[in-house]
Structure 1
Amino acid sequence: MTNPIDQISAKLHALEIELEAEMAKKRAGLQYGLERGKVLFEQEVVRRHRELRTHVVRYLFSARPLVLLSAPVIYSLIVPFVIVDLWVSIYQAICFRVYGIPQVRRHRYLVFDRSGLAYLNMIEKLNCAYCSYVNGVIAYVREVGSRTEQYWCPIKQARRVIGAHARYAGFEEFGEGEHYHERLKVLQADIRKAKEPGEPLGD
């Protein structure tokens, strides 16, 4: 018999699929399509987008001085994020092979579609690319971390974890040590068949 936590997790998964379907409907009404991974808008939409673009000079002069002064601080984060990206990639390339865990496909987490939006000027496109990279790295590292945690220590915390990853719901309850090592072997076997989040199990 399925326990209540599994039932709730299944409902959440069904709601995620439903949300994605609704978002797909909305995208369909925005007059664009995908061809070989590239977003293509209708010509009339592109023309309207260009009219909406703010010139770079006007964009810079309209910014508050403190916003301009804070920009180097924001962009300085690129250094630690590149290091983390590289280090985590090396980590999983070595260690996941040892554990028999499928490696996380990094390219699935780094998406840079916004560069094709004609209503963004070059600075806005750069900002969007930066945000896409940083948040993509966070999502990528999170998935690597969740697979590692399931392999080595799939136990829930005693206190509520805010923003727990998707695998956390299937971890063992805190303090239930009676069958932990048997359950650990099951969860380790499961993670060796890991798929990317949202990816069909049959692929």
Structure 2
Amino acid sequence: MATPIDDILQRLRALQDEIEDEIDTRRAALSYRVEQGRITFEAEVRARHRAAQIRLGTFLRNTPVLVILTVPVIYALLIPFVLLDLFVTVYQAVCFPIYGIAKVRRRDYIAIDRHQLAYLNAVQKVNCVYCGYCNGLIAYVREIAGRTEQYWCPIKHARRVKGTHDHYARFPDYGDAETYQARLQALRDALRDLETRRDG
């Protein structure tokens, strides 16, 4: 039996589909297509992009010195990000099959493609690779953590928390012991079906 939260989630998914449809429409209007993982623009668009590029020297001259001095700090984060990527990927490879949880596809979350844009200079391209990797990695880790939470402790918190993952809304309420006991196995079983639902 569908709950009010299930109905809201269904409407939310429909709105997300509408957003994706609108983004697809905008992609078509920007005259590019994806061919074998590579983005290609029409020649005229590529020429406009090259003309819009801020040259590296100009870019660096216009960047405040304090911003430049933060570069080692922000890029030092690559070390823990790469370690997080490695450990979380190994964790799900070992544990998810044992738990019966569908694995999270890393490529669904990490997109590194902005460096192909001709209107970005070399520094901007490197920054875009960094941001695409780190933000995609966080989304990937979040999905793995969300599935893990649904398997082990699917209970809402007593207080409202910001930025909950997609699985959280279906968790039983804090303090609702009967619903928790009654739905725990169904919530675990649902994790097995995620692969089918995502592709369907």
Q: TM (normalized to structure 1)? A: 0.94
The CA distance in 2 between the partners of 1:3 and 1:88, in whole Å, is: 33
Deviation at 1:114, TM superposition (A): 0.6
- Output one character per residue of 1:98-152: Cα deviation in whole Å (capped at 9) or x when no partner: 1121211112211111111000011100000000000011000001001100100
2:141 maps to which residue? 141
Gaps of at least 5 residues in structure 1 are: none
The CA distance in 1 between the partners of 2:187 and 2:124, in whole Å, is: 44
The CA distance in 1 between the partners of 2:168 and 2:146, in whole Å, is: 8
Letter in 2 for 1:199: R
The CA distance in 1 between the partners of 2:64 and 2:101, in whole Å, is: 48
* Residue 194 in structure 1 maps to residue 194 in structure 2: yes
Letter in 1 for 2:153: C
- Matched ranges for 1:3-82 at <5 A: 3-82=3-82
Aligned-residue RMSD, C-alpha? 1.4
Gaps of at least 5 residues in structure 2 are: none
Q: Give the match's secondary structure for 2:132.
A: helix
Single out whichever of 48-57 and 120-129 deviates more from structure 2.
48-57
2:126 maps to which residue? 126
Task: Report the count of equivalent residues.
Answer: 200
Runs of 4+, deviation exceeding 4 Å: none
The CA distance in 1 between the partners of 2:95 and 2:32, in whole Å, is: 41
Deviation at 1:194, TM superposition (A): 1.7
1:101 maps to which residue? 101
Identity of paired residues, percent? 50
Letter in 2 for 1:180: Y
The CA distance in 1 between the partners of 2:38 and 2:44, in whole Å, is: 18
The CA distance in 1 between the partners of 2:2 and 2:100, in whole Å, is: 28
**Would the aligned equivalents of 2:172 and 2:179 in 1 still touch at CA under 8 Å?**
no
- Output one character per residue of 1:161-196: Cα deviation in whole Å (capped at 9) or x when no partner: 211111111111111102422310111111122239
Single out whichever of 154-163 and 125-134 deviates more from structure 2.
154-163
Deviation at 1:199, TM superposition (A): 2.6
The CA distance in 2 between the partners of 1:19 and 1:119, in whole Å, is: 26
